[in-house]
Structure 1
Amino acid sequence: MLSSNRLFRVLLFPTVFFACQKQESPSPAAAASNTIEIGVTDSLYSDILGESRTVWVHVPNSAKNSLFGDRSYPVLYLLDGSAHFHSVSGMINQLSTKNGNMIVPEMVVVAILNTNRSRDLTPSHVEVDTYTGDSIQYDSGGGTAFLDFIEKELIPYIEKKYPVTSYRTFVGHSFGGLSVINALISKPDLFNNYIAIDPSLWWDNQTFMRTADSVLSSRSYTGKSLYIGVANTMKDEFTRETVMGDSTRSTLHIRSNLEFANTLEAGLDNGLNFQWKYYEHDTHGSVPLITEYDALRFMFPWYAFKNINQVYDPDSNAEDLLNDIVTHFSKVSEQFGYEVLPPAGMINDIGYTKMRIKKFEDAHLFFDVNIKNYPNISNVYDSKGDCHLAQGDSLKAIKLFTKALEVGPNDYSQPKIDTIKKSMNL
C-alpha cells in the first residue's frame, strides 16, 4: 500500500517542553517554521474501495518526548474526520494531560476523511428518500465495504506505522453515527467503545434500526460500551415526550433516536455498557462537541487516579502513595486488556517533589520504581543520579549518570559528570 506523510500544522508560536528538571527542545521542523504540529496527513490505497483514502493522525506530544522512551496509546477512529479532528484531538489532550488531568488516557486520533460520504456511511442501498418520497440523488449502501476497509486495511496500516495498542474507540456523527451502530452490530469485536452522535437511525424508513434492535437483543456485548447523544431537532411545539406521538416525517429523525435509546435503556440483557443523553439546547450541528466530551468521560470512569492530589503533596506518605498508584494501574491494565505501567513522568515528578523537600529516602523509592519498570530509558538513571547529587554523594551520582549514558545518549548527563569531576579535581 502506498502512503504519504505530510505535516499538518496550525500556526501558533514556538514552545519548549519541560519535564523533570530537564529541557526537551522543540522538533527541528517546528522550531524552523514557528508552528506547533497537531498531526500528520497520511494516506493509503484501499483495494476494497478501489481508491486512495486520506487520514489525519494526531499522536500525543509525549510520544515525541525522548526523556521517557517509546510509548503506545489507545486509538480513536473518527468519521467525518476533517470536521471533528481539531476538537477531538484537543479535547483528549486537555482531559489527559493539561492541568494535571488524567480523566481519560492519551490517545492517537485517526480522523478518516470522506470521498463519498453517503456511500460509505450507510448500511443499505436505498432508492427513495424517506423524508420526501423522491428518488435519492446520492450513492448509498456501501457501509459494509467501508467497515471492511477499516478492519482489514486501515487498522493494520495504523498499527504497523503508529504507536497504538489494540484498544480502540469508534466515533461518528449523523450518517457517521449510523455507521458506528452498524459496526456495533456487524463487527462487535473491532472496537471497545462506540460513540454515536445523533445517528441517522431513520435511514431506510427505520429498517436498519429494527435490525439493530434485533441483533442487540440476541448477542452478548459484555466488555463493550456505547454512548448515544441525541440532539433537539424538533419544532418548539413538541417536547421529548409528546414528539413520540407524532407521525410526521419532520420528526422521524429524533423519534428514531429516542425510540432506539429508550429500547436499550429499558434493559436489553446483553451486557452492553450503555448510556445516552438528550441535549435539549443543542442542534444536530452543535451536538458533536458536547457529546464527545460526555462520552469520553463515560467510557473511562476507571482511568482517573482518584488520589491525584497526593501525587504533588509533599507530606503524603510515600509507601501508601506508591501502593495506591500500583493498585490503580493494575486495575487500568485489566480494563485495557494489557499491562499499563505507572507513567514514568508521573513517578519522576513525585521523586523530584520528595527530593526538593529533602525526603531523599522517599525520592529514591520512586526513582527505583522507574528503573525497575523502564530499565531501557536513560532518564530514569539520570534522575536517581540527581537525587544522590542532592544528597552530596557525588561518586554515586557519577555512577548513575554514567549508567544513563550507557543505556541511551542524552545531552544532560555528561555535563553533570564533567562538572562533578572538575569540582573534585578528578
Structure 2
Amino acid sequence: MKTLMTSIVLCFFLIGNAQDQKTVAFGVEDSIFSKVLNEYRKVWIYNPEKASGIFQSKKVYPVLYLLDGPTHFHSVVGMIKQLSTANGNTVLPEMIIVGIHNTNRFRDLTPTQMVERSGYTTDDMRKNTGGGDLFLDFIEKELKPYIESNYRTAPYSMLVGHSLGGMMAIYTMFQRPQMFQSYIAIDSSIWWNNQEILKEIQNRPNLNYLKGTSLYLGYANTLVEGYDISTVNEDTSEETLHIRSILSLDTFLKNNAVEGFKYKSQFYENDTHGSVPLITEYDGLRFLFKFHRIDIDEKDFENLEVDMVSQIEAHYQNVSTHMGYQVKADENLINRLGYGMLNGNLYERAEQFFTYNTKIHPDSFNVYDSLGDYYVATNNKEKAAESYQKALELQEYPLTREKLEQLKQQ
C-alpha cells in the first residue's frame, strides 16, 4: 500500500521564556492513501514504545481507534498514559492510539443516506450522507493492516466514537462484530434517519453473534424541562428523540443479554452532549479493563513463604484470558519491584524478581542490566560482569558499558 509519511510531531509547548521552550512529543501525524475512498486520510498515532524511552523486547500493544481523532486524541492519550504507567499504575494496558481525521464527517460517520430532514441536520448535511460502510472498509482493509504492519500491535483492538461516531461504533459492533474486540459509544446519534439503525437492531432474533465483544454506552443529559430519565419516553417530540433512542437501545440490550457479551451503560446527569466524552472514555476504559490492575500486598514482600512470582503469573494468565492472547508480566513493573526490594535490602526477594524478568523477557538487554545491578549490590562481581556482558550482547547501551568497565577496573 502506498503511503505518505509526513512525520509531523504533535506537541504542546512548555510555558516559559521563548529561549527555554522545548517540544513535548505526543505522537506523530501520518497520512495513508485510501483506494477505497480515493483520498489521503490523515491519522495521529501515539506509540507507547517510543514514549517509554527504553525498548521493551517484543512487547505488543492493543490498539485504540478513535473517531473524530483531533477532538479527543490528547485527552485519551493523557488518560491512558496516566492509568497505564504513571505512578506505577497498571489500571489499563499501554495502548497504541490511532486518531482518525475527518474529510467528510457526515459521509463517513453515517451508515445510511438520510431521506428525511431532521432538526438535527441541515439540507447541506444530508446531501452526502450514507458512506459509513465504505469508511469501515477503509479502516478494516487499509488502515488496520497498515498499523499492524508498522507497529508492534497485539491481536486486540477497540473503537471509540462520540455522537455520529458513537452511532458508527454501535453500527460496527452489530454489522461487523469481529472487527474490534470492544467499543465505547458516547452519546450516540442512534436517532439517525428516523431510528433506522436502531429498529434494524431491535428486529434481530438474537444477539449470539456478539459473544466475545464488549460495549460501554455512555449518554448525556439531553432531557427537556418537565421530563426525567424515567418519564422522557412519554414524550414524542423531536427534542427528546436523541435520548429516547439511546434509552431504547439500552433497554433492548439489557433485555436480550447474551453470555459472553460484556455490556454496561451509564447516564451522566451532570454532563451535556459536548462535555460527556471525557468522563465516558474514562469510565468506559475502567469498565472494559477492570481485570487489568494487579494488586500486590506489600506485607507479602518480607514473607518469603509467599510465592509472589506465582501470584503475578496467575494474574497475567487471567489478563491473557480476557485479552485473547498471551500477555506477559510487564517488564518495567517487575523491574520496579526488583529495585524496590533491592533498596529495602530484601535481597532474596529482589533476586526472585530480577531472575523472573530474565526468564519471561530473555531478549531484553534491560533485564540483564538490572540483574547485574543486583549482583553488584550483593558483591558478586563475577555474576555482575556476566549479566552486563549478556545485556551488551543483546544491545549496546552506554550506561551498561560503563558499569562493566568499572567492574573490570576494580
Aligned-partner residue type, residue 104 of structure 2:
N
TM-aligned CA distance change 1:215 to 1:62, over 3 Å: farther
Aligned-partner residue type, residue 69 of structure 1:
S
Aligned equivalent of 1:2: 3
Alignment length, in residue pairs? 404
| Inter-partner Cα distance in structure 1 for 2:318 and 2:122 | 54
Aligned equivalent of 1:315: 302
Aligned equivalent of 2:80: 92
Q: Is the 8 A contact 1:230 1:277 kept in 2?
A: yes
TM-aligned CA distance change 1:112 to 1:361, over 3 Å: same
Q: Is the 8 A contact 2:49 2:55 kept in 1?
A: no
TM-aligned CA distance change 1:133 to 1:355, over 3 Å: closer
- Is the partner of 2:335 in helix, strand or coil? helix
Aligned equivalent of 1:411: 398
Root mean square deviation, CA, Å: 2.2
Q: Which residue, out of 362, 383, 386, partners 1:399? A: 386
Tell me the alpha carbon deviations over residues 66-85 of structure 1, each in whole angstroms, 9 at most, x when there is no partner.
Answer: 35334221010000111100
- Is the partner of 1:220 in helix, strand or coil? helix
- Is the partner of 1:295 in helix, strand or coil? helix
TM-aligned CA distance change 1:318 to 1:145, over 3 Å: farther
Tell me the alpha carbon deviations over residues 106-127 of structure 1, each in whole angstroms, 9 at most, x when there is no partner.
Answer: 1111000100001101111013
| Inter-partner Cα distance in structure 1 for 2:378 and 2:328 | 28
| Structure 2 residue 232 is matched with structure 1 residue 243 | yes
Aligned equivalent of 1:381: 368
| Inter-partner Cα distance in structure 2 for 1:326 and 1:132 | 52
Q: Is the 8 A contact 1:310 1:321 kept in 2?
A: no
| Inter-partner Cα distance in structure 2 for 1:155 and 1:128 | 34
Q: How does 1:326-337 map to 2 (within 5 A)?
A: 326-337=313-324
| Inter-partner Cα distance in structure 1 for 2:398 and 2:204 | 58
| Inter-partner Cα distance in structure 1 for 2:260 and 2:340 | 43
What TM-score, normalized by structure 2, do the two folds share? 0.93
Aligned-partner residue type, residue 66 of structure 1:
I
| Structure 2 residue 81 is matched with structure 1 residue 79 | no
Q: Is the 8 A contact 1:220 1:271 kept in 2?
A: no
Deviation at 1:351, TM superposition (A): 1.6
Aligned equivalent of 2:43: 55
| Inter-partner Cα distance in structure 2 for 1:35 and 1:134 | 41
| Inter-partner Cα distance in structure 2 for 1:390 and 1:355 | 8
Deviation at 1:416, TM superposition (A): 1.9
Structure 1 gap segments, 5+ residues each: 15-31
TM-aligned CA distance change 1:122 to 1:133, over 3 Å: closer
Deviation at 1:234, TM superposition (A): 1.8
| Inter-partner Cα distance in structure 2 for 1:94 and 1:196 | 22
Deviation at 1:163, TM superposition (A): 2.0
Moved more, 375-384 or 102-111: 375-384
Q: How does 1:36-47 map to 2 (within 5 A)?
A: 36-47=24-35
Q: Is the 8 A contact 2:15 2:21 kept in 1?
A: no
Q: Which residue, out of 168, 183, 192, partners 1:194? A: 183
Deviation at 1:128, TM superposition (A): 2.1
Aligned-partner residue type, residue 107 of structure 2:
R
What TM-score, normalized by structure 1, do the two folds share? 0.90
Q: How does 1:17-36 map to 2 (within 5 A)?
A: 34-36=22-24
Aligned equivalent of 2:129: 140
| Inter-partner Cα distance in structure 1 for 2:387 and 2:120 | 74
TM-aligned CA distance change 1:350 to 1:133, over 3 Å: closer
Deviation at 1:422, TM superposition (A): 2.0
TM-aligned CA distance change 1:393 to 1:260, over 3 Å: same
- Is the partner of 1:409 in helix, strand or coil? coil
Q: Which residue, out of 310, 326, 330, partners 1:343? A: 330
TM-aligned CA distance change 1:417 to 1:218, over 3 Å: closer
Moved more, 315-324 or 364-373: 315-324
Aligned equivalent of 1:180: 169
Deviation at 1:393, TM superposition (A): 1.9
- Is the partner of 1:412 in helix, strand or coil? helix
